[in-house]
Amino acid sequence: MTKIKAAITGIGGYVPDYVLTNDELSTMVDTTDEWIMQRIGIKERRILKEPGKATSDLGARAVKDLLTRTGTSPDEIEVLITATVTPDMLFPTASNLIAHKTRLKNAWTFDLAAACSGFLFGLETAANFIESGKYKKVIVVGSDKMSSIVDYTDRTTCPLFGDAAACVLVEPSTDENGVIDQMLHVDGSGGPHLHMKAGGSLRPATQETVENKEHFVFQEGQTVFKFAVANMADISVEMMKKHDISPDDLAWLVPHQANMRIIEAVARRMGISRDQVMINIQRYGNTTAATIPLCLWEWEDKLKKGDKIILSAFGGGFTWGAIYLKWAYDGAHKA
């Protein structure tokens, strides 16, 4: 019996309207457009300003976009997985709320937390559900309202992040295209370099944790930078070697968008040119779990059936990895 393959068969996305520019950030902290462009490569990022709206609202809008673009009824979805580090609350899950807001009456859902690698972990999970033969339609969402955990008085972290959501539909493949391989890793010793100190069961919220700004992203930028370059490059090159993919064979690298210098270093190590790399960090910044599907969403028209694509990420935890897939449909011909 031939093994069932899992393929991405549709994409949805959503970015909030509010554009936070480097110039506006320069009025909030001691920074400049020049520094941010040189050191990070971000020009602007989107911020969810609507009162009472959260990660599940971003995710729900992305899922509605996906259902519309693929002509899928909400009733057909069997599982929804949301990768996020900014759920609306500790429970219920963001996935639970997204399913409610998009009327996925027949889906069971759960959140998955792997920071910036969350989408890759979610896609691998969804692919296994499909490959098992038990499920036919699974949605993986990457959604993060990073502005809810960013300290806008800290110039070392506030230029980096933005809010967004994007998602993919995963279904059984009808041919040899689909998810081919994954290499996913975690290393808990990296935790102290990039984390949120309070708000969990170790340090529940108190007046002290709020005053000490422990509910915001804490990052040792240089350390994370070095690990990100080394691990994303190593894993992506390893994936190319394992599957005998030459730089010319690769249609696209879809990297996590944390820093333009990281993306360029990874592409250099892989021996590919910049026009083989999806880059939208200039406009959206680091949207954590949303970066990779957000790129696919923007590039969908250019994707062709059979395209060899490597998705690659590194993030808090540490978590990192790569997924190799062959694109399953001609994006330009999708309704």
Cα(327)–Cα(307) distance, integer angstroms: 5
Mark 246-285 with x for binding to ligand UT7 (rule: CB under 6 A) and - for no binding: ------------xx--x-----------------------
In the complex, residue closest to ligand UT7 by CB: 221
Among 31, 128, 209, 280, binds ligand UT7 (CB under 6 A): 31
Do 16 and 55 touch, CB atoms closer than 8 A? no
Catalytic position from the list 96, 231, 286, 295 = 286
Piece in contact with ligand UT7 (CB under 6 A), picked from 36-44, 52-60, 141-149, 270-278: 36-44
CB of 185 to ligand UT7, least distance (A): 14
Among 83, 116, 272, 292, binds ligand UT7 (CB under 6 A): 116
Mark 218-237 with x for binding to ligand UT7 (rule: CB under 6 A) and - for no binding: ---xx-xx--x---------
Strands 44-47 and 79-83 come out as unpaired
Q: CB count, 10 Å around CB of 285?
A: 29
295 tagged catalytic: no
Applying CB under 6 A, does 155 fall inside the site for ligand UT7? yes
In eight-state DSSP terms, residue 27 is T
185 tagged catalytic: no
Cα(328)–Cα(302) distance, integer angstroms: 13
Cα(115)–Cα(314) distance, integer angstroms: 9
Among 21, 106, 148, 156, binds ligand UT7 (CB under 6 A): 156
Cis amide prior to 119 (ω within 30 degrees): no
Cα(143)–Cα(265) distance, integer angstroms: 26
**Closest among 233, 240, 194 to 313, alpha carbons compared:** 233
Count, in order, helices (H) and strands (E) of the chain. 10, 13
Instruction: Count residues near ligand UT7 (CB under 6 A).
Output: 20
Local structure of 135: helix, strand or coil: coil
CB of 292 to ligand UT7, least distance (A): 12
Which residues sit at the interface with ligand UT7, rule CB under 6 A?
Answer: 31, 35-36, 39-40, 116, 155-156, 159, 221-222, 224-225, 228, 258-259, 262, 286, 314-315
Q: Which residues carry out catalysis?
A: 116, 256, 286
